[in-house]
Amino acid sequence: MKKVFIGFLVLAIILAVLVGYFWFKNKNGKDLNAELAVPESVQIGVPFDLMVNISNDSSSVINEAEVSVILPESIVFIGDPVARSIKNKKVGSLKTGTLTQVSFPVLVLDGENSVHSVEAEISYIPGSIKSRFVKKIQKDFVVTDAGLFLDLITPTQVLSGETFETKISYENRSEILFDNVVVKVALPENVTVNSSSKTHTINSDGHLEFVLNQINQSDKGEITLSTTLIGQDNSLVEFLATANARFTGLNYQVSGKSAIITVAPSPLSIFIDLNDNLQAVSINQNLTYNLRYANNTNIDLRDVIIEAKLDGEMFDLTSLNTNGVLRSNDNTVLWNASIVPGLRNLAPGASGVLSFNIKTAPGYPITRLSSKDFLLKVLAKIESPTVPRTVAANKTIGVSQLTTKVRGATTVDTQAFFRDASSGILNSGSLPPKVGKPTQYTIHWLVKNYSTDVDDIQVKAFLGPNVRFTGVLKSNLEIEPEYNERTQEIVWNIGKISATRGVLTAPIEAIFQVELIPSISQISQAPILIQETSLTGVDLFTTQPINGKDQSINTTIPDDLTVTGSDGRVTE
């Protein structure tokens, strides 16, 4: 009866709350009303007030009202960091019939000619009810163009080494004054600025900065750069210009424009190939680079110079074999007419091939955890002071770059011990092993991974005849080896290993105990405890397969220095 009474009591309380709520709604007729007010259209980079209008249309006081505005990524609260997307303001109590406005100054940074949406939430406590209510509202509006218009004008295509104009034009198309305006121009490393129509500085990112200060309504202007681009044939180069203005002490990017330039095929071309277009190379590997050049013009090109710059820690410069001259201060190989007479005057349509041989380093220069993903880069350049009449340059230049990945390496070292106290595993039996008597050994697998991240690493091996796994094992990974008793195969599915694991840190290790019971046919022999160990996986940097192995181990167990040669041969 007591449980039934409690149940009725709980139900009565719930019904009372529901009745009270609907009574409040019916008694007051109307509750809190709210709407978002924004201009029908706004410009990018022009501040405006986002207004939240709140009215208390009930017959009771509304308490502890708060307004939260939620902005999409393209809109920011003026005076706050760009990352802030939610802002709260307290309203407090609202008497019956009260209308109040809450203002949020905001700025649109992106999304030209599109519809944007903002949301607001008003939380409050109506009348004498203690529960907090939340009202959600939303408003769409149109974003037109940028208030501070910015344009970036470049040729769509230029020759490598050609000088051309880059123009950045700006115009205030809004009804406000833009203050503390700074135009930034980001240029690739292979672009040189020869001159500029306005004074500029270089910031910490290597970008050009033009301080324009105030730009009044309808003001316009232009910045002209003389630029030279050196790049590979058919490569794409991006120029980027942005305008920043200050509002309430913070700078915001209010406009931006980018341009893509294609490097046209050079009149003097050069291309690089490596060992039949190898995609990846290994340590201590012989490499042959070929530089193929050609005069694609209808005029003679005189005093041609060809150079190949070698960039990468994995080049073994001591192994370089070439008829060119190595310039040691920047590891560049050079050829000119003193070495190749045909370069004195390269006739129209003439071509040739220059080669050099070099080896990769015998090991990886790993000194820190970030010593990974090594690359070999060769930047080839050919140039002549002769310039075709149609080209606006002071020399004719062709460039080419070849980047090759260096494979990593993952190794497994198999070791065996009879006396192995440091492992914490006690082996029993006699040395030398005796026919029909069990002798136990511990097998160690030590895995090292060098210069690349790898995955799907699997280590496996078969045990020798008359050898079994005792079930005792240890590993410094959560994943342990597994044994198939029917096939005598032990398999360790390690999975992913980070670069330098086992080189700068302790190797990945598994230790497992095996037991040999020699047969009479093995007298005077050193039976195999574990056959050849294999390792397979995938190099995540080069996407190529990994293969490794270590030799089989017999009962002479060379890694255990306490065991002599005779201790490893079976006796009766």
How distant, in Å, are the alpha carbons of 85, 92, 441, 444 from that of 88?
10, 12, 70, 62
Please say if the pLDDT value at position 8 is more than 60. no
Please give, one letter per residue, the 3-state secondary structure of 391-418.
Answer: CCCCCEEEEEEEEEEECCCEEEEEEEEC
Please say if the pLDDT value at position 23 is more than 80. no
How distant, in Å, are the alpha carbons of 197, 276, 293, 337, 546 from that of 290?
43, 10, 10, 18, 28
Q: Are residues 211 and 246 in the same domain?
A: yes
Between 415 and 126, whose confidence is greater? 415
Q: Are residues 274 and 356 in the same domain?
A: yes
Q: Are residues 434 and 556 in the same domain?
A: yes
pLDDT at 162: 85
pLDDT at 423: 93
Band (27; pLDDT cuts 50, 70, 90): very low
Mean pLDDT across 159-163: 87
Please say if the pLDDT value at position 368 is more than 90. yes
Band (392; pLDDT cuts 50, 70, 90): confident
* Cα–Cα distance measured from residue 338 to residue 341, given in angstroms and rounded to the nearest whole number: 6
Mean pLDDT across 114-133: 88
pLDDT at 266: 87
pLDDT at 7: 53
How distant, in Å, are the alpha carbons of 134, 277, 467, 483, 528 from that of 438?
77, 56, 9, 19, 14
Please say if the pLDDT value at position 500 is more than 70. yes
Q: Are residues 416 and 561 in the same domain?
A: yes
pLDDT at 15: 52
Band (14; pLDDT cuts 50, 70, 90): low
| Mean pLDDT of the residues in the chain | 91
Indicate the residue among 406, 422, 439 that finishes a domain. 406
Between 541 and 132, whose confidence is greater? 541
Q: Are residues 433 and 563 in the same domain?
A: yes
The candidate with the shortest Cα–Cα distance to 180, out of 210, 151, 205, 152, is 210
Q: Are residues 420 and 497 in the same domain?
A: yes
> 260 is in which domain, residue-wise?
148-264
Q: Are residues 395 and 293 in the same domain?
A: yes
Mean pLDDT across 193-213: 92
Q: Is 158 helix (H, G, I), strand (E, B) or coil?
A: strand
Per-residue pLDDT of 447-483, as tens digits, reads: 999 999 999 999 999 999 999 999 999 999 999 999 9
Q: Are residues 334 and 447 in the same domain?
A: no
Indicate the residue among 242, 264, 286 that finishes a domain. 264
Residue-wise DSSP of 96-157 = TT-EEEEEEEEEE-S-TTEEEEEEEEEEEEETT--S-EEEEEEEEEEEEEESEEEEEE--SE
Residue listed under structure tokens 């990018």:
44
CATH number at residue 346: 2.60.40.10
pLDDT at 496: 97
Mean pLDDT across 187-213: 91
Write the CB contacts of 88 (distance below 8 Å, at least 6 apart in sequence). 66, 67, 68
**Percentage of residues in the chain with pLDDT exceeding 90?**
78
Task: Provide the 10 A C-beta neighbour count for residue 225.
Answer: 22
pLDDT at 57: 87
Please say if the pLDDT value at position 19 is more than 80. no
Q: Are residues 74 and 24 in the same domain?
A: no
Phi and psi for 298 in degrees, rounded to 5?
-105, 20
Four-residue CA torsion sign, 411, 415, 421, 424:
positive
Q: Are residues 258 and 274 in the same domain?
A: no
Indicate the residue among 89, 112, 141 that finishes a domain. 141
Please say if the pLDDT value at position 78 is more than 90. yes
CB 163 within 8 A of CB 189: no
Band (327; pLDDT cuts 50, 70, 90): very high
Mean pLDDT across 256-263: 94
pLDDT at 443: 98
Q: Are residues 24 and 62 in the same domain?
A: no
Q: What is the Cα gyration radius of the chain?
A: 38
Residue listed under structure tokens 């913070």:
250
Tell me the two tokens of residue 95: 């008497």
CATH number at residue 447: 2.60.40.1170
Instruction: Give the DSSP H/E element, type plus range, for residue 19.
Output: helix 2-28
Range with the largest mean pLDDT of 48-62, 74-88, 306-320: 306-320
* Cα–Cα distance measured from residue 33 to residue 27, given in angstroms and rounded to the nearest whole number: 16
Q: What is the DSSP letter of 266?
A: P
Number of structural domains the chain divides into = 5
Q: Are residues 375 and 487 in the same domain?
A: no
Per-residue pLDDT of 529-540, as tens digits, reads: 999 999 999 999
